[in-house]
Chain A
Amino acid sequence: MAKKPKPAQPSRRAIWSGSITIGLVNVPVKLYAMIYDRGINFHFLHKTDNQPLKYERVCTKDGKLVPWEEVAKGYEVAKNEYVVFDQEELDAVKPESDKRIRIDKFVDYFSVDPTYFNTTYALMPDKSNDAYSLLLAALKKMGKAGAGRITLRTKEYPVLVHAYKDALVLTTLRYAYDVVDPQAFEELKELKAPEKAELDLAMKIIKDLSGEFDITEYEDTYRRKVEELIAKKLKGEKIVVEKPAEEEVKGLMIALRETLKQLEKK
C-alpha cells in the first residue's frame, strides 16, 4: 500500500507583487500559487528506443517545419478565414497590470457561490507585516471577504480576499456570463414540487446521513495505483496486467463482503 500523497509544498517564487488597496490604504503583498493540480504526468516515448518525442510546428500545406520567426497568430472569423496579428500588435493592447488589488467592498465570503470560484492564491506580506496582520485579523474576526479586481498577466479577474488558516488568500472568480444558469436546461421545466410526506421522508434520510465533511478522507485512487506500479517497476518487478473486473462485479463484491460480515455477527 503506497502512502498518502505528500501535501503540496509552498513555492518560493512569487507570481505577482503589488498592493491591496482599500481606499487610501495600501498593503504591499506578494502572490504565490497555492492550488496544484497534481495528476500523474507521462511523457510520450518512442516505443522502439524509449527516446522522448517532441512536438514540431509543421505547415499543414507542405508538411515543412516552420521556424518561430515565421509564426503569426490568427483569429478564426469563419472556417479557414483568419484575421492575422503579429505578436507586437497584441502586446500593444495588453492590459498593464497596475500592481493593485483594488477592494471595492466587503462581503460575506459564503454569500458568493463556490460555482464562481476559479483558483486561490496565497497572499504574503511584502515588508508590510503590521498592515497585513491588521487586515487579516479584522477579516477573520468579522468573517468578511474583500471583493475587488486584479489584473494577472493579460486578464482582469474579479477577486475575493479572505482569511484562510490565518493567512490572507486571494480567490479569482469567474464572470457571471461564463457560467451557465442551470435553469436554462429544458429538463427543469418539467419538475414538480414534491408532496409534503415525500419531502419529510427525504429530509429525514438526509438528516440521518448528515456528518462533518473531511476532505482528507478523499484520495485519487488512480494516482495511488499508478504510483504503486511505478515503485514496482523501479524495483524491477514485472507488472501483471489484470483484466479489470467490471464495475458491477466490483460493486457486488463490496456488497457481498459487507453482508457476509453482518451475517457472521448474527
Chain B
Amino acid sequence: MSEKLTKVQFTNFDKILFPQIKVTKAQVIEYYIKIAPKMLRHLANRPLVLTRFPDGVEKEGFYEKDTPEGTPSWVKTVTLYSETAKRDVHYILCNDLDTLIWLANLAAIEIHIPLSTVDHRDKPDFVFFDVDPEPPATYEDAAEVALLLKEKLNQLGLEPYVKTSGKKGLHVLIPIAREYTFRETRAFVHTVGKQLSKEHAIVVSEFSETKKPGKVFIDYLQNSHGRTMICPYSLRAVPTATVSTPLDWSEVKKRIKPAEFNISNVASLRKDPWKNIFGNKQKLEVK
C-alpha cells in the first residue's frame, strides 16, 4: 500500500468469511470502513467482547475478551477484573477507525458492547429490552411486541429507539442519564415487561418462561454488569451477513424483514435513524 491511510497491516484478503454469499474478508473490512462514521460512537470507551471467525461463519468461531497475541501497541486497552474469568482481562477499546479496521482484519465479525462505558462501569447509559421470539413465534411477533412496548414507554414519557438484533429479535433501547445502577435499570425493564405480559398473552417476562413456544420474551437480565449487547451496526455471524441495524419505528410497523438489512446495503444506503440518540438522554421514574 503506497499511501499510509491506515496503520493496519491487512492479511488474508481473499479468505471467504461468508461462504453462502461468497463474501470475503476484504468485503467485511470494507463494510466496517464504510459504517465507521455511524458505528464508532457506539463503540467508544466500551470494553469489547468479540466473536471471531477466522475460518468463516460456517466454521466454529470463538469469543474473545482478552487482547490477542500480536496486538499492535497503538490499540487502546483497559485492564479490568473479570468476575466470570476470575482474573484480570485486557479488554480492547475501539475509539478510532484504525482499531475498527484492525478488528475486521481479525475476522471479529461480531462486536459486542456493554451498556456502560469504562469510566462509569456501574452506571449504565442505556436501558435494554431484548425482545426475543421463541418459535413458532416469528420476527413479525417480535415486531408486534416491540410496538406494544414502544407504546407503553411513550405513555411513561419515554422515547425508545429500536434496532434489529440481526437474527430474529428486536432490541429496544432508551439512552439514559448516568444516574441509575444496573439493579435499577434491570428492575425497570422487568416491571415494564411484567406489565405488558399481563396485558398481552403473547408476552412473557420471567426467566423461567423464556422457552415457552410461540411466546415473545422481554429479556431484562441483560441489564447487568458484565453483560453485553451486539453493537449497533455490527455484522452477525449468520450465513446472510445481516447487520444489527438501527431502525425507524415506521420500519418496524412495515415489518421489513431483518434479512433486508445486511452487509450489502446498510453502509451505503441508509440514513441513521439513531442520529440524535446520544443527545436524548432520558430519566427513568424508577419507584
Contact = CB atoms under 8 A, between A and B. Distances in A.
Interface stretch (A176-184, A214-222, A257-265): A257-265
A257 B34 CA distance: 10
Given A197-B255, A248-B13, A248-B24, A256 B269 contact: no
Interface in A196-217: 197-198, 200-201, 205, 208-209
Nearest to A243: B2
A248 to B, nearest CB: 4
A250 to B, nearest CB: 10
B214 to A, nearest CB: 23
B265 to A, nearest CB: 7
A255 B33 contact: yes
A142 interface: no
Contacts of A262: 37
Interface residues of B, number: 27
Nearest to B33: A255
Contact of A198 (B3, B14, B101, B257): B257
A67 B24 CA distance: 57
A63 B34 CA distance: 61
Contacts, number: 59
A207 to B, nearest CB: 12
Tell me if A's interface is mostly helix, strand, loop or mixed: helix
A198 B37 CA distance: 27
A249 interface: yes
A263 B265 CA distance: 20
Nearest to B13: A248
B5 interface: yes
A208 B265 CA distance: 13
B238 interface: no
B22 to A, nearest CB: 13
B49 interface: no
A251 B36 contact: no
Contact of B34 (A198, A246, A255): A255
Interface string B1-34: 1110110001001100000000010110110011
Contacts of A24: none
Given A205-B269, A248-B24, A259 B36 contact: yes
A209 B254 CA distance: 21
18 contacts: A197-B256, A197-B257, A198-B257, A198-B260, A209-B269, A248-B14, A248-B24, A248-B27, A248-B30, A253-B1, A255-B30, A255-B34, A256-B5, A256-B6, A257-B5, A259-B37, A263-B36, A263-B37
Going nearest first, the 5 A-B pairs with the smallest beta carbon separation are A248-B26, A262-B37, A255-B33, A256-B5, A259-B36
Given A197-B256, A209-B269, A256-B5, 10 more contacts: A197-B255, A245-B1, A245-B2, A248-B30, A249-B1, A252-B30, A256-B33, A258-B34, A259-B36, A266-B37
